[in-house]
Amino acid sequence: MGKSIETLSSKAKARKRVGIPKGLIYYHYPELFRIFFEELGAEVIFSKESNRTLLLEALQYASDEECFSCKIFLGHVNDLKKKKVDYLFLPKFHGSHKTEVNCPKFIGMPDVIRAVLEDLPQQLVPYHSRTKKKHRSLHLVWSAFTVGFKITKNPFKITRAIFRAVKAQKKYDEQIRWNEEKLHAWERDTNFQSGLEKVKIVLLGHAYVLHDPILSFDIPQRLTKMGVEVITSEELPSTIVEKQLKKLHSYLYFKEERSIVGAALYFLENETVDGILQLIPYPCGPTAISSEIIMRHAKRKEKIPLIQLMLDDNTGEAGLVTRLEAFVNTMKRKKLLQLQELYKHKNLVTKQIPKDDPIELVIVKSTSLDEEGAMK
């Protein structure tokens, strides 16, 4: 009896613990990695949501010139090290397209981690690069198998895991990416029921910046709280992005910068949003390119305001929020002035605006300003 209990407990212990840091590539394929390891029978352990303490710990290891997102990534790995996982999953994914690549940090980071942190658990580091090594899709399957054999010895289980993981990831992608119909419907939906125009913003940034509470300073949530409608660059359909990128004279080969620049150029052309907001983790390499391209194109079309917020580990929250609020309020004020013009024209009274409108608050503020004469 005692023996069987022991073997049972040892079996339960034998379930391998795989740690996945929540940073960089994780946000590109969150479902793929989770489902794959769960189907293999491993226990998937994520690092905790990034917070201030995690960042402060990471700063002890990271070199000061490292980009902000990589500093956070080091923090996540450090967190997993403390959680005592059996395997650390750090894929090196250069890109499965002929020319489109990820940032070089995606390949170099696992090596840097190995050099910087000590006493790390065993790492699973599959490498895939079609651009440099001419790897085909079969190589992806092969690397999935090499990773899978570390956890289970059953090849059928691995095959099943691959299929289910890919299916789940496809579903996730469909949720994230809008199709063109949805985009156009969103663009056409301009007014509230009261007749006030909605304030719409396109938010540009990498997936690992927008989803991370520390890297993005919760800006997507803050914007929705302010009553702004937000579309992010990763939601834009890829067909539209590809069409827009033909405006550039050379081939933009950074995969995520393509959707960022494409989104910016699309809205600069169509003018269906009121403002463009770009988040830049300091000193991100690829974004230095995209931000300059967007800035130079936006200068030529002065109708749409653009703000580029640079974030790093010393950024104060208050200063950032002030800038954000100023940006949003200028757009709201523009709408308000348009509305006032309209009401003057029609001899209507402003009181007709219902109170539950999110912009209403600002109207009260700016009208009071108007009375004081500060507005003029």
Binding site for other proteins (CB under 8 A): 63, 65-66, 92, 94, 99, 101, 103-105, 107-109, 111-112, 114-116, 127, 129, 131-132, 248-254, 280, 282-289, 291-293, 295-296, 299
Rank residues 235 and 313 by Cβ distance to other proteins and give the closer one: 313
CB of 110 to other proteins, least distance (A): 9
The beta strand positions in 178-326, using DSSP E, are 200-204, 229-232, 275-281, 306-311
Where on the phi/psi map is residue 35: left (φ > 0), alpha (ψ -120 to 50), or beta? alpha
Q: Least distance from C-beta 61 to other proteins, angstroms? A: 10
Q: Assign residue 90 a region (left: φ > 0; alpha: ψ between -120 and 50; beta: otherwise).
A: beta
Please report how close the Cβ of residue 239 comes to other proteins at its closest, in angstroms.
Answer: 21
C-alpha pair distances (Å), 243 with each of 98, 187, 248, 269, 324 = 18, 18, 10, 12, 30
Task: Considering the complex, state which of residue 42 and residue 294 has its C-beta at the smaller distance from other proteins.
Answer: 294
CA distance readout (Å), 93 to 136, 148, 171, 323: 13, 17, 21, 36
> Minimal distance in Å, beta carbon 94 to other proteins?
8
Q: Cβ closer to other proteins: 36 or 254?
A: 254
285 versus 354: smaller Cβ distance to other proteins: 285
Residues in CB range of 241: below 8 A, 6 or more apart = 258, 259, 262, 263, 266
Minimum CB separation of residue 346 from other proteins in Å reads 43
Nearest distance in Å: CB 272, other proteins: 24
Q: Considering the complex, state which of residue 289 and residue 320 has its C-beta at the smaller distance from other proteins.
A: 289
List all residues 6 or more positions away from 279 whose beta carbon is below 8 Å from its beta carbon. Answer: 203, 204, 205, 209, 210, 215, 216, 219, 309, 311
Q: Based on CB atoms, which residue is closest to other proteins, 69 or 169?
A: 69
